[in-house]
Amino acid sequence: MGSATQKDTAAVRVDVAVIGAGPSGLTMAILLARHGFTTALVAPADPPEDDRTTALLDSSVALLRALDLWQEIEPHTAPLAHMRIVDDTGRLIRAPETVFDAAELDLPAFGYNIRNRDLNGALGATAAETPGLVRVIGRVEAIRSDATGASVTVDSGETVTAALVVGADGRRSMVREAAGIDTRDWRYPQAALIVNLEHDVPHHDHSTEFHTPTGPFTLVPLKGNRSSLVCVVEPEEAERLKALPDDALAAELERRAHSVLGAMRIAGARHIYPLGGLSANRLGAARCALIGEAAHVFPPIGAQGLNLGLRDVAALGEILVAAKTRGEDIGGAATLERYERARRPDIASRVAAVDLLNRSLLSDLLPVQALRGLGLYAIGRIGPLRRMMMREGIAPSLGRPRLMRGLSIGGNGG
């Protein structure tokens, strides 16, 4: 990857400008450059502090393998071979404990958990060595587009012109705003406290999700005797927990985890994420296409967020390579419409499923509790239903992009 200097890039001209260097933007930029598109990756030099962890599910791993990125990423991951769901609501109608095993799907693991900073580090190192990929340092301030192309103004004074701008600039996306795309936003009366933990008892590649009356309390394995915790509670409770001294917080979390991992120690910074969701009303307009959290934000339930974002990356890459092969305008309305049609059903169904799960956890209505309990009971006991749910949880069976099915998409990338 070349780096932009004042002299040679006062005006950078490329096929695609990718805005944002989080995991979605980095993967998108590498994919495009590998498939013969001249690409600029525009983002500030220092990534924001990201202590989140991501469980990369099977189809995301397939994409990273197809792009030859997995060997750099895997050493930082812990396999997620078993998922245990425990109803800890204490309500009248409770679901029995349910354990999902990846072996039932003939997979070594459902996915692999990694700290976002390790993921971004590995992707960033590869991006820096990728020919055809120019790194432009700075924040995007404005985007103008017309029938011939888009012009991106960076706060460093540089300008990038491209046929297509990919907005990978996260939940407060300025690309989305510049393209005039509205969003549907919603808030839940909860917040997620996240923190990484060390513990005495090995996790044996199990994630454990306690469903509590205020939301999930989820421990996901990291490398060694470590796990990441997402603890969803009322906002005031999140603040109270965050303010506790290390020992007191560790003891409180061990109690909430019913000591399944033994004694715990705090191993990293604590963060609070107010819980909510966002869905862009369109995925493309005015020569801009949205991917990742610029297009959809999920509460951290069911490991959906970035996995959905990587499906955006794979689908958009496939559509752009096909458009280029046919000699079409890669930023034109027809290309953006194809992207919309390819991604909307998956995004809409995931938004609905995660919303339903969260609302059912919060509901005090007995029929809702009964339905959730029965649903988990049926999934736990009926083999084919359980396997179908596991497969759908990993990735939708319909419309999975080619790069996630071990197939190539042409272009220079093969």
Ligand X SMILES: Cc1cc2nc3c(=O)[nH]c(=O)nc-3n(C[C@H](O)[C@H](O)[C@H](O)COP(=O)(O)OP(=O)(O)OC[C@H]3O[C@@H](n4cnc5c(N)ncnc54)[C@H](O)[C@@H]3O)c2cc1C
Binding site for ligand X (CB under 6 A): 19-25, 42-44, 47-48, 52, 54-55, 116, 139-140, 168-170, 174, 192, 194, 230, 273, 292-293, 300, 303-307, 309
CB 112 within 8 Å of CB 147: no
CB of residue 297 vs ligand X: minimum separation in angstroms?
A: 7
Q: Give, as one character, the DSSP assignment of residue 373.
A: H
Q: Least distance from C-beta 385 to ligand X, angstroms? A: 24
Q: How would you classify the pairing of strands 296-297 and 271-280?
A: antiparallel
Cα 293 versus chain centre, distance: 7
160 versus 369: smaller Cβ distance to ligand X: 160
- The residue (of 120 and 369) whose beta carbon lies closer to ligand X is 120
State the Cα–Cα distance between residues 11 and 33, nearest whole angstrom.
Answer: 19
Question: How many secondary structure helices (H) and strands (E) does the chain include?
Answer: 12, 23
Q: Which is nearer to ligand X, 42 or 316 (CB)?
A: 42
Nearer to ligand X, 54 or 214 (CB): 54
Q: In angstroms, what is the minimal distance from the CB of 114 to ligand X?
A: 9
- Nearest-approach distance from CB 75 to ligand X, in angstroms: 19
Residue whose CB is less far from ligand X, 86 or 395: 395
Contact 398, 345 (CB under 8 A): yes
Minimum distance of ligand X from residue 24's CB (angstroms): 3
Kindly report each contact of residues 172-178 with a partner whose C-beta sits within 8 Å and lies 24 or more positions away, as own/partner. Answer: 173/20, 173/290, 173/293, 173/294, 174/19, 174/140, 174/141, 174/143, 175/19, 175/140, 175/143, 175/288, 175/290, 175/294, 176/280, 176/288, 176/290, 176/294, 176/295, 178/142, 178/143, 178/286, 178/288
The nearer residue to ligand X, 21 or 404, going by C-beta atoms, is 21
Closer by beta carbon to ligand X, 277 or else 373? 277
Tokens 């359980």 belong to which residue?
386
Q: How far is the CB of 323 from ligand X (least distance, A)?
A: 23
What H or E segment, with its residue span, contains residue 296? strand 296-297
Phi, psi of 20 (to 5 degrees): 110, 130
Least distance (Å) between residue 39 CB and ligand X: 15
| Residue among 170 and 413 whose Cβ is closer to ligand X | 170
The distance of closest approach from Cβ of residue 138 to ligand X in the complex, given in angstroms and rounded to an integer, is 7
Q: Residue 371 CB, nearest distance to ligand X (Å)? A: 26
3-state helix, strand, coil in the chain (%, to 5): 40, 30, 30
| Integer-rounded Cα radius of gyration of the chain | 22
Q: Are 69 and 126 in contact (CB under 8 A)?
A: yes
Residue among 47 and 380 whose Cβ is closer to ligand X: 47
Closest to ligand X by CB, 41 or 324: 41
Amino acid identity at 113: N
What's the closest the beta carbon of residue 127 comes to ligand X, in angstroms?
12
**Residue at token pair 């050493």:** 75
Report in angstroms how near the CB of residue 292 gets to ligand X at its nearest: 2
How far is it, in rounded angstroms, from Cα 85 to Cα 389? 14
Q: What is the spatial distance between Cα 334 and Cα 357, in angstroms, rounded to a whole number? A: 35
Q: Which is nearer to ligand X, 273 or 377 (CB)?
A: 273
Our measurement of the distance from residue 279's CA atom to the centroid of its chain's CA atoms, rounded to an integer in Å, reads 14
Report H helices in 233-332.
Answer: 235-243, 246-256, 305-325
Contact 323, 329 (CB under 8 A): yes
